[in-house]
């Protein structure tokens, strides 16, 4: 079975790996699509991020969908041939945080394609995957590409949940990669009254407008900024920070109203915060990390036609073109979500 394996920065290989045996409660899946995520790109371009480094070869990937090809003993509710989205979230269900319902903070999390623990958790960019049945959500009615968007959509639904009530609220989204765009879709679905999006790329801002942003602002353009929102102590109730870039956050602060909420989704390493300005406005900073129940919610929203992710999938490459796919996925002048077709 072919797998996409990172050995070191810029050393991505298609290696043969064992599929593994099918145990009770598990399903074997022929992977159909895999979406390349920002974290996959960090491993590819830099060999990791922050303190997290690749210390052994690791199969990448955690945004996958596929068709069920075999059922293990005791599996019910899934059928051979069925298209499923596979959640990469594999909490233990028994640690203190799992028992509190905070599965995304599981002490024994085995999230696909993560070099945080050692040995690393191998990822899902492979032709065949054995997964727990509980990770699989029916994607009936969706394309394999849409189904593979279930993971980033879940990240954004969790982020929007951190913001609290959005009905009629004014929302600023900084960073218009796939997470920013999915946040726009999720915020609109949650009832946001006004959505403004910022980025440095005209291409991604065009897509943000198409996704439903009421206005887009290119912060790289000297004639365009957020100054128009500074009057009367600011304009926005909520900031969904998706860039992980300190300048984006810094520029957004004066546009936030007193009591405004910042939800930080972007993982940009150490960002410095303008604490004085945040304190004087009584802003609230809320982190958002991964997801758990939102995975199934996202699939359901797509199936009902309430969130359409199809326009975000700009490129699909074959497995043999994996390196080209990773190069394209990082190009914010022409790519939004790049996916790999496995079968």
Residues in the site for Zn ion, rule: CB under 5 A?
Answer: 37, 63, 91-92, 95, 98, 106, 151-152
**Which are the contacts of 129, defined by CB distance < 8 A and separation ≥ 6?**
19, 28, 29, 31, 64, 66, 86
Of the two residues 154 and 253, which places its CB atom closer to Zn ion in the complex? 154
Task: Please give the helix or strand (H or E) that residue 153 lies within, else none.
Answer: helix 150-163
CB 127 within 8 Å of CB 102: no
Q: Rounded to whole angstroms, how far apart are CA atoms 81 and 85?
A: 13
- The least CB distance from residue 212 to Zn ion, in Å, is 21
- Residue the block writes with tokens 């490459």: 317
- The least CB distance from residue 61 to Zn ion, in Å, is 9
Task: Please give the helix or strand (H or E) that residue 340 lies within, else none.
Answer: strand 337-341
Of the two residues 113 and 260, which places its CB atom closer to Zn ion in the complex? 113
Of the two residues 98 and 219, which places its CB atom closer to Zn ion in the complex? 98
- The least CB distance from residue 98 to Zn ion, in Å, is 3
Q: Which long-range contacts (CB under 8 A, 24 or more apart) does 94-98 make?
A: none
Of 280, 286, 262, 294, which Cα lies nearest the Cα of 173? 262
Q: Rounded to whole angstroms, how far apart are CA atoms 130 and 70?
A: 9
Of the two residues 41 and 95, which places its CB atom closer to Zn ion in the complex? 95
Of the two residues 23 and 93, which places its CB atom closer to Zn ion in the complex? 93
- The least CB distance from residue 97 to Zn ion, in Å, is 6
- The least CB distance from residue 81 to Zn ion, in Å, is 26
């Amino acid at each position: 079975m072919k797998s996409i394996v990172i050995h070191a920065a810029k050393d991505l290989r298609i290696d043969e790996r064992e599929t593994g045996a099918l145990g009770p409660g598990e399903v074997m899946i022929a992977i159909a699509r895999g979406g390349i995520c920002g974290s996959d790109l960090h491993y590819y371009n830099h060999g990791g991020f922050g303190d997290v480094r690749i210390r052994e070869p690791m199969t990448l990937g955690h945004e996958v969908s596929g068709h069920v090809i075999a059922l293990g003993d005791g599996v019910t509710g899934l059928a051979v041939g069925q298209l499923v989205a596979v959640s990469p979230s594999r909490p233990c269900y028994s640690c203190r945080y799992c028992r509190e319902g905070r599965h995304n903070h599981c002490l024994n999390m085995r999230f696909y394609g993560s070099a945080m623990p050692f040995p690393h958790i191998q990822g899902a960019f492979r032709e065949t995957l054995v997964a727990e049945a509980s990770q699989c959500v029916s994607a009936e009615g969706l394309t394999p590409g849409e189904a593979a968007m279930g993971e980033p959509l879940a990240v954004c639904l969790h982020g929007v949940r951190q913001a609290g009530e959005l009905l009629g609220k004014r929302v600023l989204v900084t960073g218009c990669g796939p997470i920013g765009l999915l946040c726009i879709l999720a915020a609109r679905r949650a009832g946001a009254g006004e959505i403004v999006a910022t980025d440095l790329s005209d291409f991604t801002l065009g897509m943000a407008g198409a996704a439903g942003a009421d206005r887009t602002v290119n912060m790289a353009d000297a004639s365009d900024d957020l100054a128009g929102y500074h009057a009367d102590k600011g304009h926005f109730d909520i900031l969904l920070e998706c860039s992980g870039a300190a300048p984006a956050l810094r520029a957004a602060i004066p546009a936030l109203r007193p009591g405004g909420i910042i939800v930080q989704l972007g993982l940009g390493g150490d960002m410095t915060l303008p604490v004085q300005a945040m304190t004087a406005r009584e802003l609230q900073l809320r982190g958002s990390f991964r997801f758990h129940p939102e995975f199934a919610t996202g699939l359901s929203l797509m199936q009902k036609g309430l969130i359409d992710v199809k326009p975000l999938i700009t490129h699909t490459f074959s497995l043999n073109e994996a390196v080209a796919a990773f190069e394209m996925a990082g190009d914010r002048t022409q790519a939004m979500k790049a996916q790999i077709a496995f079968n």
